[in-house]
Amino acid sequence: MATPLDERTLARAAEGDSAAFALLVRHHQAMVFSIAYHFLRNTALAEELAQDVFLHLYRSLKSIESPSHLTNWLRRTTTHRCVDQSRRQKLRPRLYLDQAPEAVDQSPARDPMLADRLRRLLAVLPARARAVVILRYQEDLEPAEIARTLEIPVGTVKSSLHRALASLRARLEKGVSAHGRV
């Protein structure tokens, strides 16, 4: 179990204490990887992106004001890096069954076929909409927290979320009616 972080650990890391920085990384690595993996759907890219985020954190430690600022900074930086990666590679799901990575979330899906369909539909959403949906439903952030993380107005978060969910719903219903299955 991760040790709760305090101001002293953050201050020690900012002063160059490598053990304190390692504690920061251990405490936040699951969150950073989870955001990256759910956005990119690629374990290797998510790991590489997480390393890049933590390298950027190491260089930016003196600007981090508190443990909560650190968490928000990591979410924002990870999400922005995911959007950038997505734009660079124009990621589209091209995954064969034998290449499918292990799921990060170990809780059983109620309907595995529906869950798979939703993952594929989520992957075709525009980058910002995908980021909003992931932060809302994967990271369980409220719209105000998402707005702070992405540095956009709360209204934009809410409208992006509304449009993304409507798009997912329409695509899901279209798939059901067209094929008689999901």
176 token code pair: 């059901």
H/E element, 93? none
Task: Tell me the per-residue pLDDT of 80-123, one tens digit each, with 9 for 90 and over.
Answer: 999 888 887 764 555 444 554 555 555 554 677 777 787 888 88
Note the pLDDT of residue 102: 55
Place of tokens 């799901």: 93
Q: Which long-range contacts (CB under 8 A, 24 or more apart) does 157-163 make?
A: 157/132, 160/128, 160/129, 160/132, 161/129, 161/132, 161/133, 161/136, 163/129
- Could you tell me the CA-to-CA distances from 27 to 52, 81, 101, 169 in Å, in that order? 16, 20, 23, 35
Architecture category of domain 1-91 in CATH: Orthogonal Bundle (1.10)
**Is pLDDT at 50 greater than 80 in this prediction?**
yes
H/E element, 79? helix 67-89
**Is pLDDT at 163 greater than 50 in this prediction?**
yes
Sorted by where each begins, the domain ranges of the chain are 1-91, 106-182
Give the fold, CATH level 3, of 106-182. Answer: Arc Repressor Mutant, subunit A (1.10.10)
SS3 174: helix
